[in-house]
Amino acid sequence: MRPTPQRSAWLVGYGLLSPALALMAVMLVAPLLAMVVLSFWTQQGFEIDRSFTLANYFALVEPSSEPIVWMGIPIPLKYPVPAILLGKSILMSLAVTIAVIAMAYPMAYFLAFRVQRNKALWLVLLTIPFWTSYLLRVFAWKIVLGFNGAINSGLKSIGVIAEPLSFLLYNPLAVIITLVHAWIAFTVLPIYVSLEKIDRSLLEAATDLGDSKWRRFLRVTLPLSAPGTIGAALLVFIPTVGDYVTPTLVGGPGGTMIGNLIQELFLRQNNAPLGAAVAIVMMLVIGLLVLIFLWLIGFHKLRSRVG
Amino acid sequence: MSETGNEVIEIREVFKHFGPVAAVDGVSIGIRRGEFFSLLGPSGCGKTTLLRMLAGFEHPTSGEILIDGQSMTNVPANRRPTNMVFQSYAIFPHLNVEENVGYGLRNRKLGKEEMRAGVAAALDLVKLGGYGKRAAHQLSGGQRQRVALARALVCRPKVLLLDEPLGALDKKLREEMQVELRQLQRNVGITFVFVTHDQEEALTLSDRIAVMSLGKVLQIARADDLYERPNCREVAEFIGNMNLFEGKVAAATGANVTVDTAAGQLVAEADTQLATGAPVYIAVRPEKMTLSTKRPEQGQNALKGRIIAETYLGDRRQYLLATAAQEKPVTVSQQISGIETKAPSEGDVWVSWRPELARLLTS
């Protein structure tokens, strides 16, 4: 039997998708399922007890009568570290995301509306930081912010400070600065694309209908670039919550994030099932936050209108 | 040109240079209040640039534009008493029909009720009542066009600028919209400045037309004047079909001028005094010519030729005649009314026209 045209188009579609699908099945879906399964087991010394239990999840929410106070918030949990670190990671990622978008948007705007020639060159220049490895860039920040780093020795040599500033490195701020730098170039591109796509006659129409430049930006440019900007924000927020390399290198004890805890549980504390449970909870919380965010800004409406 | 005070737009000696290129090359036009005025010309003639200067999106390199007696030189686009219907319609994709139409009103201090009423009235005006909640992407081409019109008209501009607004529509819809646009303009009484490259459209719609070429205005006239009395070869050829015979003035007796051409002596009426020997063109419309198998009577201009092609156009038949006199074939158009008498396709035929139906052009 010969396949019908629709059927063969369908086959071609899945044929083209299949390498990616296969890779995702092996590298993403399978490990994820393994994690889910693992989180229902328990660690007994060096052995893993493979009987199904929700003990790991209960441990994360088990209440305690004497709450620990973190940043003024009482946390009534017996094992409060994961909850605190998750909350802190989310706040830090939020700060990173806001800073990244605040810096990337003007850059993308400039590129889309002001640069007339050699746009490709500008885009290539933007990617230059990516020509070195992520690890090297994090180390670079260690050198910039360090005790005898570029900032401290610079300030010392011009006599602004007598002793090196110690608050630059090994704290949440250092993590945030490093993450902002690491992610900013990723976000310029999607924002740039969504700005570039805006029909210039729409901007002229807005002006023609009486808008000042600022009003026109708020009423036309911003809403029409929202899909790309929101996409960029999620692109930063979701992976940075779980990042552990940057906090390990520049975070110090105060800059620890949830990713560090998961790593600890899996490796040093040898409690992979609990680590898996923390990881799963982190994923669910991030997913929930993203959904709430998208619902709040009415993303479904945006998509149906712009698309 | 600016003899009366009822001109809502005065364009005075406006030049616009893009680098070394003069897109608009010394244009002066007065547009009367309440008029449907068209800028007609081939692409690249500067008509859109001129319109964009009226809107304030481009600024003259020199010269001045006045709207309602006020110089627009230092008035930014968002403060001009003009509104524009864009070629692409520029409907905001993130807003529905109502929000699109009300866009300009939101920049004015209007009450909610007042605004709703304004939007509803504008939508009724363009026959889109009840479409307010439609999303932009649910509209057809013709509907987008109407929304663009309503959005501009609701602001009650002194001048409505239209940049080839019918270009994207199919032929049937375009003709319907032409009629509607004309009626709409009469109803609202707003001055329309309409840019088009379609001469038929300009002739159908406009009170007056400015024909532009290479940044200059060639002629400003009513549609019938433009067709019957073009002032130069370029206008004659751009508007409709025109047969041109190049020659030199041989003699002028009264209104009749005899011209020596490659096709022999031809006679035409002139409204200016012409010196003997002056180079001129005799211009004759295809439908003013008659075909016959016998040599026509004296007192007419006549040429002998052979039919090399014919085209049936429903209401008329168009013939191309090869003549000994010139390389370019002569076009003759014969109205088909009642029973058609077809010209013979074999052998010589005569094409003739009366002197007063031809036009003498000096440039």
> pLDDT tens digits for A88-132?
999 999 999 999 999 999 999 999 999 988 888 988 888 887 788
The most distant pair of C-alpha atoms in chain B lies apart, rounded to whole Å, by: 78
**Signed CA dihedral, B158, B163, B168, B171: sign only:** positive
Are β-strands B191-196 and B208-213 bridged in parallel, bridged antiparallel, or unpaired?
A: unpaired
Alpha helices by DSSP H, listed for A218-269, are 222-241, 245-246, 258-266
Q: Does the pLDDT value for residue B343 go beyond 90?
A: no
CB-based contact A168:A152 (threshold 8 Å):
yes
Paired tokens of B310? 């014919």
Tens-place pLDDT, residues A215-245: 999 999 999 999 899 999 999 999 999 999 9
**Nearest alpha carbon to residue B316 among B296, B338, B336:** B336
As a whole number of angstroms, the distance between CA A80 and CA A64 comes to 9
ipTM over 0.95: no
Percentages helix, strand, coil for chain A (3-state, rounded to 5) are 70, 5, 20
CA B246 to each of CA B99, B187, B194, B268, B360: distance values in angstroms, whole numbers, following the listed order: 58, 46, 34, 12, 10
Highest mean pLDDT pick, A47-61, A91-105, A293-307, B170-184: A91-105
Secondary structure class of B329 (helix, strand, coil):
coil
B151 touches chain A (CB under 8 A): yes
Residue A299: pLDDT band with limits 50, 70, 90: low
Interface contact flag, A223 B94, Cβ < 8 Å = yes
Pick the CATH number of B241-361 from 3.90.1640.10, 2.40.50.100, 2.40.10.10, 3.40.50.2000: 2.40.50.100
Structure tokens, B343 = 């010209």
* Dist CA B15 CA A279 (whole Å): 68
pLDDT at residue B100, rounded to an integer? 95
> How far is the C-alpha of A304 from the C-alpha of A296, rounded, in Å?
16
Kindly list the domain boundaries of chain A, sorted by start residue: 40-306
Identify all chain B residues contacting A199, using CB atoms and an 8 Å cutoff.
88, 90
Structure tokens belonging to residue B29: 């036009």
Mutation site, A116, A207, A209, interface B, largest B CB count within 10 A: A209
The pLDDT tens digits of the residues spanning B206-249 come to 999 999 999 999 999 999 999 989 989 999 988 888 998 888 88
Q: What would the mean pLDDT of A126-149 be, rounded to a whole number?
A: 87
In single-letter form, the type of residue at position A142 comes to: K
Band (B359; pLDDT cuts 50, 70, 90)? confident
Indicate yes or no: CB of A201 within 8 angstroms of CB of B83.
no
Nearest to B89 by CA among B1, B150, B177: B150
d(CA B203, CA B208): 9
Separation of alpha carbons B287 and B335, rounded Å: 8
Structure confidence at residue B3 as a pLDDT band (50, 70, 90): very low
Q: In what order do the strands lie in the sheet with B290-292?
A: B290-292, B348-353, B301-312, B316-323, B330-335
Calpha distance B40→B234 (Å, rounded): 12
Looking at domain B7-237, does it have CATH number 3.40.50.300?
A: yes
Query: How do B208-213 and B36-40 pair as beta strands?
Result: parallel
A-contacting residues of B 56-85, CB under 8 Å? 56-57, 76-79, 82-84
Cα separation, B266 vs B255, in Å, equals: 14
Write the CA distances from B234 to A217, B41, B219, B252, B361, integer angstroms. Answer: 45, 10, 10, 25, 10
**Which CATH superfamily groups domain A40-306?**
MetI-like (1.10.3720.10)
Buried b (16+ CB within 10 A) or exposed e, A132-153: eeeeebbebbbebbbeebebbe
Q: Is B93 near chain A, with CB under 8 Å?
A: yes
Which helix (H) or strand (E) covers residue B180, if one does? helix B171-188
- Nearest by CB to residue B90, choosing from A205, A215, A302, is A205
Most confident range, picked from A92-101, A150-159, B112-121, B221-230:
A92-101
Closest by Cβ to B57, choosing from A204, A215, A223: A204
Give B 266-285 residues with CB within 8 A of chain A.
none
The SS3 of residue A114 is helix
What is the spatial order of strands in the sheet that B191-196 belongs to? B82-85, B159-163, B191-196, B36-40, B208-213, B216-221
> Where along chain B do its domains lie?
7-237, 241-361
Q: How confident is the model at residue A301 (pLDDT cuts 50, 70, 90)?
A: low
